[in-house]
Amino acid sequence: MQSNRLLAALRRKDRDHLIAACDEVELTIGDVLWEPNKRIRHVYFPLDSFISQLVPVDARENLELALVGNEGMLGTSLVLGVNSSMLQARVQGSGAALRLDAASFRRELEHIPALRKQLNRYIYVLQNQLATTAACINFHSLDLRLARWLLMTHDRADFGSFHLTHKFLAQMLGVRRVGITNAAGLLQKRKLLSYSRGHITILNRAGLEKVSCGCYQVSKDMYERVLG
Amino acid sequence: MQSNRLLAALRRKDRDHLIAACDEVELTIGDVLWEPNKRIRHVYFPLDSFISQLVPVDARENLELALVGNEGMLGTSLVLGVNSSMLQARVQGSGAALRLDAASFRRELEHIPALRKQLNRYIYVLQNQLATTAACINFHSLDLRLARWLLMTHDRADFGSFHLTHKFLAQMLGVRRVGITNAAGLLQKRKLLSYSRGHITILNRAGLEKVSCGCYQVSKDMYERVLG
DNA sequence: CGCGATATGTTCGCTGCAGTACAGACAGGT
DNA sequence: ACCTGTCTGTACTGCAGCGAACATATCGCG
């Protein structure tokens, strides 16, 4: 069991107080924690789970814009004083998370200035990651984007294999399923990964980083610089 | 001379206090107010100027991700406790703005809770607009994106014509110059706009809205709902 | 006026991805 | 063992946008 990095940065007393207020819950892949523009009832601090945030497009398609693992928190809108978000939150890796209802969370934000400060910085990082993602979509080809996506997921899953079908990846990246098959085929030919029926294993992480566009490193550096 | 909508929402006393602390400055198209990852020295509340925020990509290319006019503020990073941003800020429409140095701004944030609250909401809107932009880039064709861009600029310029060359638009949208020539040609054929040597005039705004993808309306509605 | 600089228009070949269809591979249930 | 549903691989057409080169048009300036 891991801890949550945002909470780990708090002073022991603040952290204990906050964790005591939370429930530890088990999240299962596929769970939808919020629908777009519905009231947010809980915030989540993932421990070893991770959660996608998806923007719905034209009522049919989706696109993943942010991945929240134990380095982050789901529910930043509440920090900004708004109790909904246009993004859908979907569990993408099963595991544990600390959960806190919205009202309690607001109370904790008032009581623990360091928490607000930390989460503000996290929001800054998220914003910049969003900017990087937009640029990546515009300029980089699908295989680069796929490599980046796998690296980000790998960081949060901290084990080298996970359950991801091509169809699922296509929904995340907002492309056709066949596009993923091709891109993944390229990466597989270079012995960077292997997969069969929804089970992807990263064989050569360093190689994958080399193939991926710089966007991965930019996002990662941003996090370390502001929150590390 | 317009006022700034974020400030206009404050109570008279707060607003007057804040405005008294600001300098009114004249911004000229092309001015670069910040470079990426450099220290932010001032924040700006545009009056009748407007400012692009651009993400640099691979050290050569740019992509505009946000446009800040009198409905917003430039310098939200400071609200989040970080004194830089990875985005470049470039004046895209000449005009006036209220300027405040970073230290004073921080002080005002402490003194005027309503300001912090308002700016937090604005950050939320920006974040969602960023999400919408990313989706738009991924799913929508260039002529739709161009229509959206022109509408957003038109909103902030509040007069129907502005100085924009195809080359400049290409840099904003992260595409080739020829791509803009084609897309603009399509819109011109439908009598929605006319241009000659850098001077674009919107002829039929309603028609342009109809042609544009839904992203324009989504962004606009989001602003009105949260801040309107 | 003539010149150079800038802005726009057009063309060509190429690539990446969309859309669609279909075939083979494998897993789990009965 | 068989069937069925799911996952993956392959093949095709079509289009949008890239990169590059070149042609034309317009403006400002000497």
Give the H/E segment covering residue A42.
strand A42-46
d(CA A52, CA A66): 6
Q: B226, A125, B160, A85: which is closest to A133 by C-alpha?
A: A125
Q: Is A85's CB within 8 Å of B128's CB?
A: yes
In the structure, what pLDDT confidence band is assigned to residue B222 with cuts at 50, 70 and 90?
A: very high
pLDDT tens digits, residue range A94-122? Answer: 899 999 999 999 999 999 999 999 999 99
CA distance, residue B201 to nearest chain A CA (Å): 27
Residue A151, pLDDT score: 95
Q: Which residues contact B90 (CB under 8 A, 6 or more apart)?
A: B30, B31, B32, B33, B51, B52, B54
Structure tokens at B120: 């937090």
Beta-strand relationship, A88-93 and A50-57: antiparallel
The conformational region for residue A115 under phi > 0 = left, psi -120 to 50 = alpha, else beta, is alpha
pLDDT tens digits, residue range A2-46? Answer: 799 999 999 999 999 999 999 999 999 889 999 999 999 999 999
**Closest CA in chain B for residue A114:** B81
pLDDT tens digits, residue range B115-127? Answer: 999 999 999 999 9
What residue ranges in A69-224 does DSSP mark as E strands?
88-93, 95-101, 161-163, 193-196, 199-202
pLDDT tens digits, residue range B13-60? Answer: 999 999 999 999 999 988 999 999 999 999 999 999 999 999 999 988
Cβ atoms < 10 Å from Cβ of B201: 12
> Is pLDDT above 90 for A89?
yes
Q: Is A139's CB within 8 Å of B222's CB?
A: no
In the structure, what pLDDT confidence band is assigned to residue B161 with cuts at 50, 70 and 90?
A: low
Residues found in chain B: 228
What is the full DSSP assignment across A182-204?
HHHHHHHHTTSEEEETTEEEES-
Chain B interface disruption, residue of A68, A77, A84, A124, most B CBs within 10 A: A124
Cβ atoms < 10 Å from Cβ of B183: 23
Residue B165: φ, ψ to 5° = -85, 160
SS3 A89: strand
Distance measured from the CA of protein residue B197 to the C1' of nucleotide C6, in angstroms: 9
- Point out the residue among A85, A124, A174 whose CB comes nearest to the CB of B139: A174
CA distance, residue A105 to nearest chain B CA (Å): 17
Residue A228, pLDDT score: 86
Residue A161, pLDDT score: 63
Residue A60, pLDDT score: 85
Q: How many helices (H) and strands (E) does chain B have?
A: 10, 10
Contact B49, B72 (CB under 8 A): no
Q: B59, B105, B225: which is closest to A82 by C-alpha?
A: B225
